Amino acid sequence: MFPGLSLQVTIAFCTSVKLLKSQEIYFQRRQLKHEYNQDLVIEYNNKSTQRIPLQAFLALPFFELSTNNVDFGTCLVGQTRRTEIFLLNKTGSKSYWTAVFGET
């Protein structure tokens, strides 16, 4: 690139299982927002380098149920009882879950 010109660069942060496993100790402590810091290193033709600090915050989900127990009372053979419970995620993570029934 010639002097005096500018270039727009897109930088992305991508999580991986390896990255999450390396931070497992934070998850065990329920620190649901973790900070990652790393430098972007730009190397010029004249072999000089420039470091630009990058920072990313990762919000992790923590799921909990709306109740600690479910009591259907006395159920007779062939009788169906239903109740609703909710799976909640009160964190800043926009996570979701899926239940699959009947597959092994």
**Predicted structure pTM score:** 0.49
pLDDT tens column, 5-37: 998 988 888 877 777 776 665 556 566 677 888
CA dist 104 and 87 (Å) reads 23
CA neighbor of 85 nearest in space, from 102, 100, 71: 71
Q: Two tokens at 25?
A: 């100790």
- pLDDT reported for residue 49: 94
Report residue 76 CA to chain centroid gap. 43
